A and B are shown apart, each in its own frame.
Chain A
Amino acid sequence: MYRQKYLFLLPGLIALTAIILFPLIFTIRVSFSGWDVYNPGLSWAGVKNYVRLFEDTRYWSALSRLSLLAISTVLIQYVLGFALALMVWKDVHARRFFRVLFLVPMMTTPVIMSVIWRTIFHESLGPLNPLLDAIVLGGQPWLSSPGWAFAAVMIVEIWQWTPFMFLLLLAGLLSLPSEPYLAAKIDGAGPVRTFFSVTFPGLAAISVGALLIRLIEASKILDTVYVLTSGGPGEATETASYYIYIRGLRDFQIGYSAALSITYLVIMIVALTIIAKLMVRFLVKGQS
């Protein structure tokens, strides 16, 4: 009778392994080849690509730019998402309306919204600069200056993904038991004390999960950058994925882009594992 257990697991496991494993092994093999426009095919080039990669400053700055972008936007999303979840948790008029509204950006297609955002950031025809002028902040060269282009990418990422944090944290808030709140009230704890002693610890586990999922997804940023800035101006918004895209699918340096991909993947896995361990230690200590 327990033979049947394989009927459950194996179809999915085999399908996923078949679809993922071939590309992964193939990429590793290609990364040791000199495959490019002039020499297509799996010639053996040794570790040439990996040596080149270590001297490629554009790659390393794309990686550090990606880390800055991912960590800063995810933290902002977390803080904003948490604040929004707390605000529509209870005692608010029309809270179901606001809950739906706050979820909407997450449902929209990132590239399609980026196309819209591009028109919003347009320096002369877009609506953002007139608005900023009106509230005396002044218009900015959004997509043509390095700093503002980076800020534009951040704004779009925050708009798109704060709802995800909001969703998970609100679901967590709604599943909190009410007894500790009664206890806190009886003990005379104020709202701030109640938040740090009851609410935040109760959401620590779900916070770690939400932050990790978002960091994983943010480390892959490509769509938004592709549409909004094409990595520019210059290389000001070029993320690791976008740089690999340029090397692989624009310049057609297949072998080199494979080496970049494998390095990128390894760095991501190592970094995310360390971050996960640290977060579990500092945020969920003393709990399950």
Chain B
Amino acid sequence: MTDLTQSAALSRSEPEAVPALRPGLIAKYVFILLWSAFVVFPFLWALTTSFKDANGVTNGATWLPWIQYRPSTQGWSSLFGGAGGTDITRPYLNSIAVTLGASVISITLGTLAAYGLSRFTFRFGWMRNADITFFFISQRIMPPIVLAIPFFLMLQALGLLDTLAGLILVYVALLMPIAVWVMVDFFNSIPRGLDEMAWMDGCDPVTTFVRVILPNALPGLVVAGMFCVIFGWNDFFFAFTLTFTKTQLLPVAIVALNSSVTPWWALSASALISIAPLVLLAFLVERFLSKGGLAGAVR
């Protein structure tokens, strides 16, 4: 197996020799820098706005603290119960609980199903493996708005409205298709010979899966986990329609700030602190990308 991955890694190494367009080189850097500016623009604006107070905001668009406006820490202190904002500690913990809970369940169930679909043949009526895989993945097509009202009534009937458990249940349906999609492709790229060897040694399928396949599937699990965390953490609509005040998630708490007289400083500070954990995830994604770990998983 190590031989296989190594040779795969070798053939995937970045090709060296493609002639660069000399005259285009400046244009290339200009384009890269312009796009970088576009990318960081909202973050820089949010950062500078988070240190303003009412005066700083109503004086128009300013960027430089001390020079153009008097900095204030009002925005940041309001995050933890200070005046003019909303305490986001609870929503933060709620978001972490729902994202992690739903991701772990989705990846567990999704990985098991993906392994089954990759290694065994199933038939339910007219449905074969490819159809079952498509059934899983196709759930992503479902617009949230179609499900919102039935979900509301379903959770109400189960007594799970406005609870963490209810949200986790709904998010599992949202995230499991992603886990299945990534993992089926990944398992298909692991040679079946590996399973057969374990079976010949007398392992049953479950032991084979846990002891032999799972350790080899770690890169795929990381990718699936990343996508689940991104889509779970960033969802707004279900958190918005299925909870009221008891179980607020972060995006809902922040959008609620937007409705009344908007305290831009508190808004900016809370926005920055809630996107921070996933921005760090970008570094992890890039490391995987450079090692070629994503290529197998996204094909």
Q: Interface residues, chain A, CB within 8 Å of chain B?
A: 1-2, 4-9, 11-13, 15-16, 19-20, 22-24, 26-27, 30, 80, 83-84, 87-92, 96, 98-113, 115-120, 124-127, 129-130, 159, 167-168, 170-172, 174-178, 181-182, 185, 190-191, 194, 205-206, 209, 216-217, 219-220, 222-223, 227, 240-241, 244-245, 248-249, 254, 257-258, 261-262, 264-265, 268-269, 272
Contact = CB atoms under 8 A, between A and B. Distances in A.
B113 A112 contact: no
Given A117-B42, A261-B143, A174 B258 contact: no
B122 interface: yes
Interface stretch (B18-26, B75-83, B214-222): B18-26
13 contacts: A9-B113, A11-B109, A12-B180, A27-B146, A30-B150, A84-B32, A90-B14, A108-B275, A120-B45, A178-B16, A216-B141, A268-B141, A269-B141
B12 A174 contact: yes
Nearest to B241: A249
Contacts of A16: 109, 136, 139, 172-173, 176-177
Which 4 pairs, one residue from A and one from B, show the smallest C-beta to C-beta distance? A8-B116, A23-B150, A175-B295, A12-B113
Interface centre among A92, A102, A174, A249 (most CB of B within 10 A): A174
Nearest to B176: A16
Contact of A107 (B122, B139, B230): B230
Interface in B1-42: 11-21, 28, 31-32, 35-36, 38-42
Nearest to B296: A175
A9 to B, nearest CB: 4
A102 B283 CA distance: 11
Contact of A116 (B109, B115, B143, B268): B268
B137 to A, nearest CB: 10
Nearest to B199: A1
A101 B36 contact: yes
Given A100-B282, A100-B286, A13 B113 contact: yes
Interface of B: 11-21, 28, 31-32, 35-36, 38-42, 45-46, 49, 57-58, 60-61, 63, 109-110, 112-113, 115-117, 119-120, 122, 132, 136, 139-151, 153-154, 169-170, 172-173, 176-177, 180, 204-206, 209, 230, 233-234, 236-237, 241, 250-251, 254-255, 257-258, 262, 264, 267-268, 271, 274-275, 278-279, 281-283, 285-286, 289-290, 292, 294-296, 298-299
A contact face: mostly helix, strand, loop, or mixed: helix
Contacts of A176: 15
B183 to A, nearest CB: 10
